[in-house]
Amino acid sequence: MSRQRIVVLISGSGSNLQALLDASAGKHAAGLPLDADIAAVISNRPNAYGLERARNAGVEAISLDHTQFDDRHSFDAALIRQVSEYSADLVILAGFMRILTPVFLTPLRGKMLNIHPSLLPKYAGLHTHQRAIDAGDVEHGATVHFVTEELDGGPAVVHAAVPVLKNDSAETLAQRVLEKEHLIFPLAAQWFVSDRLVLTNRGAELDGELLPSGGVRFNDEREH
Ligand code: GRF
């Protein structure tokens, strides 16, 4: 069977994209596999460093500058056209900082994953690390979830937690969370492309079992 095809959308540095590229090439730092091809990377910001990461990996890098469009709908219409050209089985939002409309969301329902830097349902939206510190949380993390029309609110797949340390700034905490993101994103993508993970009317299901509301808790020690 041929490998499934993934299109990754980014807006910035693309360290999560790098983890996916590495996994797809059999070179992930923690040895995680991703039995799929990254067919293209699309950025809404022309100068996103992630585009260079894509080119370095020999992957098509496309810039679709949202400032060149009149409104969200026309941008989303162009984006869905672009994604369709690559016949993507899975679309991954890896630090893609645009709110998407149904023009893009509806045709890709059940085929799109996002990573959010918090333990959802806590802290949807921006500034998650500072909000966790301000709230005095002892634990923070990241969650991979299916994308639906509810911002950061689609069914969760997997989350990884890190401790919040006494002297943490938003930056030090973000760095600790990012290291976990680079593990759980390839893991969730691999579940999807191996047909273990699906979105049903009940929610996110892994191997036919409905996942808990925050998703599976990632445990570095355990085989997934
Ligand atoms: C990550 O923190 C991710 O959770 C959020 O945006 C950031 C992207 O980082 N959605 P990078 O571009 O993958 O380095």
**Beta bridge mates, 37:** 5
- Sequence-separated (6 or more) residues with CB below 8 Å from residue 41: 7, 8, 9, 10, 14, 17, 50, 51, 53, 54, 59, 60, 61, 62
Q: Which residue's CA is the nearest one to ligand 1's atom 3?
A: 95
If we measure between CA atoms, which residue out of 100, 212, 207 comes closest to residue 156?
A: 212
Of 13, 16, 122, the one to substitute when testing ligand 1's pocket (max ligand atoms within 8 A of C-beta) is 16
The 8-class DSSP code of residue 155 comes to: P
Q: Is the pLDDT assigned to residue 133 strictly greater than 90?
A: yes
pLDDT of residue 50: 98
Q: Is the pLDDT assigned to residue 161 strictly greater than 80?
A: yes
The 8-class DSSP code of residue 193 comes to: H
Structure tokens at 137: 């949380």
CA of 1 to the centre of ligand 1 (A): 32
Q: Which residue's CA is the nearest one to ligand 1's atom 14?
A: 15
Q: What is the dihedral of CA 52, 182, 25, 2, to 10 degrees?
A: -110
From the list 28, 66, 116, 129, the catalytic residue is: 116
Where is 87: in which H helix or E strand?
none
Q: pLDDT tens digit string along 81-114?
A: 999 999 999 999 999 999 999 999 999 999 999 9
Q: Which residue's CA is the nearest one to ligand 1's atom 5?
A: 95
- Using a cut of 0.95, tell me whether the model's pTM lies above it: yes
pLDDT of residue 220: 72
Q: Give yes or no: 145 in active site.
A: no
pLDDT of residue 2: 85
If one compares 2 and 140, the residue with the highest pLDDT of the two is 140
Q: Is the pLDDT assigned to residue 224 strictly greater than 70?
A: no
Q: What is the dihedral of CA 157, 163, 168, 171, to 10 degrees?
A: -20
Of 42, 115, 127, the one to substitute when testing ligand 1's pocket (max ligand atoms within 8 A of C-beta) is 115
